[in-house]
Amino acid sequence: MEATGTDEVEKIKSKFMSAWHNMKYSWVLKTKTYFSRNSPVFLLGKCYHFKTDDSGELSTDGSSFDKINKEISGNVEEFRKDFISRIWLTYREEFPQIKGSALTTDCGWGCTLRTGQMLLAQGLMLHFLGRGWVWPDALDIDNSDSESWTAHTVKKLTASFEASLTAEREPRILSNHHRGTLKRNCDDSERRNEVYHRKIISWFGDYPLAAFGLHQLIEYGKKSGKIAGDWYGPAVVAHILRDELNSFVFVLRKAVEEARDPELQGVTVYVAQDCTVYSSDVIDRQCSRMDSGKAATKAVIILVPVRLGGERTNMDYLEFVKGILSLEYCVGIIGGKPKQSYYFAGFQDDSLIYMDPHYCQSFVDVSIKDFPLESFHCPSPKKMSFKKMDPSCTIGFYCRTVQDFEKASEEITKMLKSSSKEKYPLFTFVKGHSKDYDFASSPLHEEKHLFPEDEKRRLKRFSTEEFVLL
């Protein structure tokens, strides 16, 4: 009887925590973002112009369409459609319990995992769908202000409290679009694209069998001594954030290597060592054999952990970062600002465009047929000044073939040289293998050698400080 009472208390406590997360993380999304009409906007290699004769700012939430001419309206719509089509992965609640813990939410600690998932998702979208693909239903996502997120949060708080008293699952509040998704006639190409669209999202589902889901990433992280709930959340100091990022990219690579879906056998991940991309190592990964034994060239997603300055971001790197985000084979940047991780996908002037994972949403079962897609697409972009960005970040690129990699390495090397005012570039491409430079190739060795000894001692000292739960 006593045990039953304790269970009930835990359930009520869990419901209140869920309601608190909804209040805390539901303010993020509904702030409007304004764009200059007189400067181009870049989104993962695509350029959009909103220029008009009138100076001023333009909101991209659709509310200003009646105030601007049709040409500009078309450009804004194309940008919104492209942005919304990117896969958005955020905090979730009430997903299946994470093995070895009582956690059913990643609120407060999973933001870096989510931004890493978004970067990988963009790489897979380039691989299976191409950069020109956009979601046909992108502009159907409800982004009106008819119901504020504050009101929505209060509804969920009330529903959560009532559910906790009746021991029922918290009811979901669905949009009208969820209740009745329109069926469209589409050709074979559109059907194929929609199949891959859903499949890519399902690979990031929040259940144990999803190839790149939270549960799987945490299992791989255990091999590095990490456990769910106390890692990858932003730390008090930038040094810890950098350590988390570098650890995470190896976890991400491991997840791709271990993926069992046959369609993922054609993709591999390479992680740069000490800000150096060893060309022969990349090509070896691309030319490795499939599990079936068949020889074929693999596409590669290259992850380069870098630091854009010391304690603060050096503005000298702005032009290089803008140049990187202007490339269609760039899959984004995992970064953020102190204590928060974001997924950067574009820029306008000196501001970066990003998707924010700090928004708590209900668990979606992606194993069912025709699961709702809307919560995996962000209805509105956000902007942040480059100077506010934390210097620790990871840059991602996608190369389908060896020839694509060679072309990309030449192009990026030129950008690095032209943007480097000092003697050393941000990172380099080097011919040959890492072993030719006395580096071991094992992930464990790579992770150990991410920092010099004095930096390791400093990181160890910082690791005793408390983490901040957002």
Tokens 């000894």 sit on residue: 453
Give the model's pLDDT for residue 346.
97
Among 111, 330, 378, 399, the one annotated catalytic: 111
| pTM (two decimals) | 0.78
Amino acid (one-letter) located at 228: A
Beta strands of 288-329 (E only): which ranges? 299-307
The strand pairing partners of 397, in sequence order, are: 302, 330
Measured CA angle at 356 (ends 90, 107), to 5 deg? 45
Contact between residue 238 and residue 388 where contact means Cβ atoms under 8 Å apart: no
Give the model's pLDDT for residue 438.
65
Per-residue pLDDT in tens (0 to 9) along the chain, 470 residues: 455 556 566 556 656 665 666 566 555 555 678 888 889 999 999 999 987 655 556 655 544 434 444 555 568 899 999 999 999 999 999 999 998 888 999 988 888 889 989 999 999 999 999 999 999 999 988 654 333 333 444 444 444 434 433 333 333 333 444 444 444 545 788 899 999 999 999 999 999 999 899 998 888 777 667 777 754 533 222 233 334 455 566 777 778 877 778 888 899 899 888 899 999 999 999 997 665 556 678 999 999 989 998 889 999 999 999 999 999 999 999 998 877 899 999 999 999 999 999 999 999 999 999 999 999 999 999 999 999 999 989 999 999 999 999 999 999 999 998 876 655 789 999 999 988 886 444 444 444 443 444 444 443 433 333 333 33
Q: How many other C-beta atoms are found inside a 10 Å radius of the C-beta of residue 115?
A: 31
**Distance from C-alpha of 70 to C-alpha of 66, rounded to nearest angstrom:** 9
Amino acid (one-letter) located at 132: G
Among 107, 356, 378, 399, the one annotated catalytic: 356
The candidate with the shortest Cα–Cα distance to 296, out of 263, 253, 247, is 263
Among 215, 239, 358, 377, the one annotated catalytic: 358
Does residue 202 sit in helix, strand or coil? Answer: helix
Q: Is 111 designated active site?
A: yes
Q: Could you give the C-alpha distances from 417 to 306, 393, 395, 423, in angstroms and in order?
A: 16, 20, 17, 9
Give the model's pLDDT for residue 440.
46
Give the model's pLDDT for residue 256.
81
Per DSSP bridges, beta strands 41-43 and 46-48 are: antiparallel
Q: Is 399 designated active site?
A: no
Give the model's pLDDT for residue 74.
61
Q: Could you give the C-alpha distances from 434 to 247, 272, 279, 280, 437, in angstroms and in order?
A: 19, 10, 9, 8, 5
> 8 φ, ψ to 5°?
-65, -40
